[in-house]
């Protein structure tokens, strides 16, 4: 039986290969601290569950393909509070941000078309781009520069006749990099000047720890044809399991094409849309509290990392991830060591090895991604274990 060339280019989740070793370590009584998982531990606001409990219709019917009106209105209200108005037709509710991205890529990519993506990037972007027949053109960065990529020349160097879009995650997963409003504007202007889409994956929008707020590219009302926003309730309201996202653009031709895919898959889960609409009524002090909590966690991780000799990590400004360069050659091999050979008082640690976050072959092998979505004391101990592990691993390598 023959499989498609596109699925053969895609990979299984790289973290899976460590799963049996983690299970074996746990079965042997070892405690494993997880820095590899992006599932926050923050409680989902109770209105979410209450809305679902209050659902009183006798038939769990299809929702309208573009989304239920109350959720679309809730998203409109949210953007109004960000200072920019969206029409109803500028919003399509999707099954998570993931589906929004799949849909827009299928709307714009033919075989061989290119999307510029700052590297390192969220590995699932590869699967979505490949499934749509496209190619990722990575925009290189370095750990030493704190994964900075907002440079007009570096971006324009990568544009050719096959380029269709620039895709940025802001705040960044896995890097935590946050664009200044000026940097966002510059990238949007590059897109506009070259007739490209700028797709902004802004699902971590609320998680910015500097003073300045993130400027959503949705506020660039003077570039309606170019701007596309991928949004989600997953991180914003710690409701990852709701799978409610949105595709947002003022480009009506794009939205008309996107609606074809929305109609083909009929609708997004009805109860989850009702729950998501309720989540948008959460007062803004909810965001302040979670933001402060994540900021403390980030500070803990960054300060503990700074104590480990040879680690390169500039303090990231947003999301709840960071990339760090370790003083080891191969973080895959080091992860295996941590699970199978190392422990400190019966404890060890898991992270996400860096290579899958890169499209450029060979890049990222000495880097890791850390998600700081667990309690501060656990994070502190996890980074301590990382430091002790590095020392033990390098001592073993030398011996």
How many C-beta neighbours within 10 Å does residue 128 have? 23
Give the footprint of its own copies on residues 152-171 (CB under 8 A): 164
Residue 220: half-sphere exposure toward Cβ, Cα within 13 Å:
28
Least Å from the CB of residue 338 to its own copies = 23
Residue with tokens 């590297």: 119
Shortest distance (Å) from residue 48 CB to its own copies: 6
Q: Taking the complex as a whole, how short is the minimal distance between the CB of residue 160 and its own copies, in angstroms? A: 14
Residue 289 binds its own copies, judged by CB under 8 A: no
Longest Cα–Cα distance in the chain: 70
- Identify whether the C-beta of residue 372 lies closer than 8 Å to the C-beta of residue 294: yes
Q: Three-state secondary structure along 70-112? A: HHHHHHHHHHHHHCCCCCHHHEEEEEHHHHHHHHHHHHHCCCC
Residue 276 contacts residue 302 (beta carbons within 8 Å): no
Q: How far apart are CA 252 and CA 119, in angstroms?
A: 30
Q: Given the rule CB under 8 A, which of 62-70, 304-312, 317-325, 374-382 is the region that contacts its own copies?
A: 62-70
x/- contact string, 173-202, with its own copies (CB under 8 A)?
Answer: ----------------------x-x-----
Q: Is 118 in the site for its own copies (CB under 8 A)?
A: no
Is 5 a binding residue for its own copies by CB under 8 A? The answer is: yes
Task: Candidates 53-61, 209-217, 301-309, 387-395: pick the segment binding its own copies (CB under 8 A).
Answer: 53-61
Of 208, 156, 235, 181, which Cα lies nearest the Cα of 318?
A: 208
Of 128 and 337, the one with the shorter C-beta distance to its own copies is: 128
Asked if residue 235 binds its own copies (CB under 8 A), the reply is no
Q: Which stretch binds its own copies (CB under 8 A): 78-86, 266-274, 291-299, 313-321?
A: 266-274
> Of the listed pieces 91-99, 175-183, 339-347, 380-388, which binds its own copies according to CB under 8 A?
91-99
> How many binding residues for its own copies (CB under 8 A)?
78
- Asked if 340 and 21 touch (Cβ cutoff 8 Å), the reply is yes
Which window, 125-133, 179-187, 282-290, 303-311, contacts its own copies (CB under 8 A)? 125-133
Q: Can you tell me which of 65, 73, 180, 219 binds its own copies, judged by CB under 8 A? A: 65
| Residue 375 region by backbone torsions, left for phi larger than 0, else alpha for psi between -120 and 50, else beta | beta
Residue 63 binds to its own copies (criterion: CB under 8 A): yes
Instruction: Decide if residue 297 touches its own copies (CB under 8 A).
Output: no
Taking CB under 8 A as the criterion, the residue among 114, 202, 231, 272 binding its own copies is: 272
Q: How far from chain centre, in Å, is Cα 78?
A: 20
Verify binding: residue 224, its own copies, rule CB under 8 A.
no
In the list 22, 25, 32, 44, the residue contacting its own copies (rule: CB under 8 A) is 44
217: left (phi over 0), alpha (psi -120 to 50) or beta: alpha
Query: Tokens in use for 105?
Result: 């890529």
């Amino acid at each position: 039986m023959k499989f498609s060339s596109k699925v053969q280019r895609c990979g299984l989740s790289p973290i899976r290969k460590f799963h049996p070793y983690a299970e074996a370590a746990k079965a042997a009584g070892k405690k494993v601290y997880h820095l590899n998982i992006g599932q926050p531990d923050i409680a989902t606001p109770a209105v979410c569950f209450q809305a679902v409990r209050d659902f009183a219709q006798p038939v769990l019917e299809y929702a309208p393909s573009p989304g239920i009106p109350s959720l679309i209105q809730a998203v409109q209200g949210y953007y109004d509070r960000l200072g920019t108005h969206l029409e109803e037709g500028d919003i399509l509710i999707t099954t998570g941000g993931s589906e929004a991205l799949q849909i827009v890529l299928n709307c714009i990519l033919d075989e061989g078309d290119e999307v510029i993506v700052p590297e390192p990037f969220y590995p699932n972007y590869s699967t979505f781009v490949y499934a749509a027949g496209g190619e990722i053109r990575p925009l290189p960065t370095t750990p030493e520069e704190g994964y900075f990529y907002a440079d007009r020349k570096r971006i324009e160097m990568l544009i050719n006749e096959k380029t269709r879009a620039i895709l940025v995650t802001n705040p960044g997963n896995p890097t935590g990099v946050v664009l200044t409003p000026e940097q966002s504007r510059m990238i949007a202007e590059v897109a506009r000047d070259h007739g490209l889409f700028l797709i902004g994956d802004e699902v971590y929008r609320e998680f910015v720890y500097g003073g300045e707020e993130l400027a959503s590219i949705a506020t660039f009302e003077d570039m309606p044809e170019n701007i596309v926003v991928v949004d989600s309730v997953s991180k914003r309201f710690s409701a990852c399991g709701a799978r409610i996202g949105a595709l947002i653009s003022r480009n009506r031709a794009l939205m008309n094409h996107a609606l074809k895919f929305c109609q083909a898959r009929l609708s997004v889960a009805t109860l989850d849309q009702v729950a998501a609409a309720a989540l948008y009524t959460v007062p803004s002090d909810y965001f302040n509290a979670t933001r402060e909590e994540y900021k403390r966690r980030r500070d803990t991780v960054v300060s503990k990392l700074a104590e480990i000799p040879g680690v390169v990590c500039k303090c990231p400004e947003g999301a709840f991830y960071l990339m760090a360069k370790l003083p080891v050659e191969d973080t895959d091999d080091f992860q295996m060591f941590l699970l199978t050979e190392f422990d400190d008082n019966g404890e060890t640690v898991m992270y996400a090895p860096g290579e899958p976050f890169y499209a450029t072959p060979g890049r990222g092998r000495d880097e890791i991604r850390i998600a700081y979505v667990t309690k501060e004391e656990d994070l502190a101990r996890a980074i301590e274990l990382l430091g002790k592990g590095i020392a033990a691993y390098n001592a073993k390598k030398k011996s």
